[in-house]
Amino acid sequence: MMKWNWKEFLIAALIRAVRTFAQTGVSMIAVGAAFSEVDWIRVLSVAGVAFVLSILTSLATGLPEVEKTSQQEIKG
């Protein structure tokens, strides 16, 4: 039986989600917009949704950088 190393998986999923959050936030800011012209609530809202979707996608599909371990490796 195969199991995930949940601590390693959680760290990798959070790193991926934070990167997704940042990339989405950057993409929401128009080039040439003044700081006061940016709708920061909308930027944070959309980036937050992307963060949640990234976590859910990681749970549903797994992460290639996190290997599954066998039950025997966990025990001994």
Selection from 25, 12, 21, 19 nearest residue 58 by Cα = 12
pTM over 0.75: yes
Specify the pLDDT at position 30. Answer: 84
Q: What does the alpha-carbon distance between residue 25 and residue 61 come to, in Å, rounded to a whole number?
A: 24
Q: What does the alpha-carbon distance between residue 47 and residue 41 come to, in Å, rounded to a whole number?
A: 10
Specify the pLDDT at position 40. Answer: 95
Which tokens in the block code for residue 10? 């959680």
Can you give the pLDDT of all 76 residues of the chain as single tens digits? Answer: 457 688 899 999 999 999 999 999 999 998 888 989 999 999 999 999 999 999 999 999 988 888 766 444 445 4
Specify the pLDDT at position 67. Answer: 74
Give 44's contacts (C-beta < 8 A, 6+ positions apart).
Answer: 25
